[in-house]
Structure 1
Amino acid sequence: MQISKILNNNVVITEKDQAEVVAMGRGLAFGKKIGDDIAVDKIEKCYTLQGDESSRIDELLAGIPDEIFVITDKVITLAKEKIPGKINDSLFLSLADHINATQLRASDGFVIKNFLLWDIKRFFPTEFSIGKKAVADIAKKFDLPHLLDTDDEAGFIAMHIVNSELGRGNSSASELTKLMEEMLTIVKYSLKVAINEEDIFFQRFVTHLKFFSERVLLDDGTTLPNSDDSLFEMIVERFPESYETTLKIVGFLNKTRGYQVSKDEQTYLTIHLARIVPQTT
């Protein structure tokens, strides 16, 4: 592996399997120049770049201090631990750029309001908790205690993580949040109950709704097969009120997005809704 770009003494760009890679390691580029071989035993972390990211390396990473790369790597490492198998390496570039811009704005006394914060907190609590830890690290490293006065920045970092989870297509955290809010509104008005959002059954429903919403947003035109008609019919008969709400969601998705909700998906939605009702009446 040879150095193609040097970002600082600890971060370089190289190539592996015909893809550009951000390689990190203490003193990795010390005394080195472009074209020199990398000491593989010094590489501590690698992030593989995809698509048009390679052409944006200079634009996104130019002038970013090493401390930002360290914090970014720490955030991604924690995210991969908490959300295994879903975090894309492309998060490194966008998150490093975002965190650097955040600390520059905060140094000048500016903090941007996050208008999706309330939804982010309730829909993506794991990602939000990671964002909180990241903000604490930024505030400590750059002596910006006022960053801790609000949760806005933690929400923005959480959105970057959610975007990485989506992984492909043009879907984004804001789209996912909007879709989940739309379906929750249908649920609340249809069931006509005061939902306790701290209840474990509601939290499980939100988790299911998140994954279901991801499938809707990433829809490639195919529909999940209907595997068990007998189970579907039993659930419909047993929980008619909840199934009526499911049908409203089905109609909404078909009308607004052309998404065909399979019987399996209807079954799982109905079961989750049925668990909410007795806990909120």
Structure 2
Amino acid sequence: MEFYEILKIFNNNVVLAKKDEKEYILIDKGIGFNKRKGELINKDRFEKIFILERDIKDRFDKLILNIDEEIVGVCEEVISMISEEYEELDREIHVKLVDHIAFAIKRLKNNDEIENPFIIEIETLYNKDYEIAKKAAFMIKKRLNIEIPDGEIGFIALHINAAKNKGKVSDTLKNIYICNSVIEILEDELKVEINKQSIDYARFITHIKFAIYRIINKIPIKNELKSAIKRKYKDSYKIAQIIAKFMENELKEKVSDDEIAYMAMHVEKFKNKTLY
């Protein structure tokens, strides 16, 4: 049987505890109810247990000094819920997501508007993360009685995506910016307004998302119809070249002719549609 010493109680279900000089976030129904700092928890199974390694522990301990315990508690329950969907999460989530949600709640209490210009792109490109973020928003509403707007749900989804990929939110945002800019280039060149609820839109920006990944990681892609596409869809190929040039400037990497040919096929689909 394990013995944990309570260091801090966040809510009835979440406590910070210590065992063998290591700190743990323990999550279990009623684990913090009627408990006090310094008490021992005599238990070896929990709904969820997170070890705070030294590189995270110091920053987490400093962060929670200025955040209401209830907010930290619900954030950790949110992280527990996320970990049910993605087993391997970046440990930084205990600092970055808690910090982000706490600041967002502060802004919402001050009636600040949270604007997210990429909400459609986030929902389209990272749909599973967005749906998980909606569950997080429901948990926050239920526990803290604070309504989380769609824009903030989008930002929470970005943190989830970064944590599951062990990457940076800024990198994901840049990819979204590139996808959005590619659509704007396409609209300018074709003199149309693309319906962002359409299947063609979703397919194209999803293609661009994976193209960005291939380009950054120098993963080759083969297009056997490249010559035919160049010859048959000349105008669309030219537009795809403009898009590729923009992507090269943003990514500082070369975009292959094979990638351009695939983009040209998508451009051709939009070009042949007169109603969006």
2:133–2:157 Cα contact (<8 Å) kept: yes
Indicate the residue corresponding to 2:112 in structure 1: 112
Q: Give the whole-Å Cα distance in 2 for the aligned partners of 1:7 and 1:157.
A: 25
Report Cα offsets for 1:31-88 as digits up to 9, x if no partner.
7859x797332x222446679433311122345425643455346635864xx67854
With 90-99 and 163-172 compared, the bigger mean Cα shift is at 163-172
Q: Give the whole-Å Cα distance in 2 for the aligned partners of 1:236 and 1:13.
A: 64
Indicate the residue corresponding to 1:244 in structure 2: 238
Q: Give the whole-Å Cα distance in 2 for the aligned partners of 1:26 and 1:50.
A: 24
1:87–1:165 Cα contact (<8 Å) kept: yes
Q: Give the whole-Å Cα distance in 2 for the aligned partners of 1:112 and 1:156.
A: 15
Report Cα offsets for 1:157-204 as digits up to 9, x if no partner.
233234335533684443233222222222222233331222111112
Q: Give the whole-Å Cα distance in 1 for the aligned partners of 2:223 and 2:253.
A: 20
2:226–2:258 Cα contact (<8 Å) kept: yes
Indicate the residue corresponding to 1:160 in structure 2: 159
1:3–1:14 Cα contact (<8 Å) kept: yes
- Listed as ranges, the gaps of 5+ residues in structure 2 are none
2:220 to 221, 225, 229: 225
Q: How does 1:53-68 map to 2 (within 5 A)?
A: 53-62=56-65, 63-66=67-70, 68=72
Q: How does 1:113-152 map to 2 (within 5 A)?
A: 113-115=113-115, 117-125=116-124, 126=127, 127-144=129-146, 147=147, 150-152=149-151
- Listed as ranges, the gaps of 5+ residues in structure 1 are none
Q: How does 1:5-84 map to 2 (within 5 A)?
A: 6-8=7-9, 10-12=14-16, 22-26=25-29, 33=38, 39-41=43-45, 43-47=46-50, 52-62=55-65, 63-66=67-70, 68-70=72-74, 72-74=76-78, 77=81, 81=85
Distance 1:44 1:156, change over 3 A: same
Q: How does 1:182-221 map to 2 (within 5 A)?
A: 182-213=181-212, 219=216
1:75–1:130 Cα contact (<8 Å) kept: no
Q: Give the whole-Å Cα distance in 1 for the aligned partners of 2:23 and 2:207.
A: 36
Shift in Å, 1:258: 1.6
1:112–1:153 Cα contact (<8 Å) kept: no
Indicate the residue corresponding to 1:258 in structure 2: 252
Indicate the residue corresponding to 1:101 in structure 2: 103
Matched, 1:268 2:262: yes
Shift in Å, 1:232: 2.8
2:18–2:24 Cα contact (<8 Å) kept: yes
Letter in 1 for 2:99: D
Any idea what SS the aligned residue of 2:117 has?
Answer: helix
1:162–1:172 Cα contact (<8 Å) kept: no
Q: Give the whole-Å Cα distance in 1 for the aligned partners of 2:214 and 2:23.
A: 30
Q: Give the whole-Å Cα distance in 2 for the aligned partners of 1:94 and 1:246.
A: 37
Letter in 2 for 1:96: V
Letter in 1 for 2:150: D
Report Cα offsets for 1:114-133 as digits up to 9, x if no partner.
33x23223343424444444
Q: Give the whole-Å Cα distance in 2 for the aligned partners of 1:268 and 1:94.
A: 37
Q: Give the whole-Å Cα distance in 2 for the aligned partners of 1:48 and 1:249.
A: 45
Aligned residues with identical type, % of pairs? 24
Q: Give the whole-Å Cα distance in 2 for the aligned partners of 1:267 and 1:51.
A: 49
1:4–1:13 Cα contact (<8 Å) kept: yes
Letter in 2 for 1:277: K
1:159–1:173 Cα contact (<8 Å) kept: yes
